[in-house]
Amino acid sequence: MPLHELTYASLATREMSQPDLVELLDASRETNLRRGVTGLLLYRHQEFMQLLEGDRSEIFELYQTICADPRNRNNYLMWEGAIEQRSFPDWSMAFLAPDAPELRSWPGYSDFFDTSYDALAHRGNASTGKRFLLWHREAFLRQQHRAAKGGKRSGT
Domain-embedded: residue 128:
yes
Domain around 106: 3-148
Domain-embedded: residue 7:
yes
The domain tally of the chain equals 1
CATH of the domain at 113: 3.30.70.100
Q: Find out whether 134 and 127 touch, Cβ atoms under 8 Å.
A: no
Of residues 82 and 121, more confidence is placed in 82
Comparing CA positions, the residue from 22, 39, 12, 13 lying closest to residue 97 is 22
Please state the rounded mean pLDDT for residues 81-88. Answer: 88
Domain-embedded: residue 156:
no
pLDDT at 75: 93
pTM over cut 0.85 = no
Domain-embedded: residue 154:
no
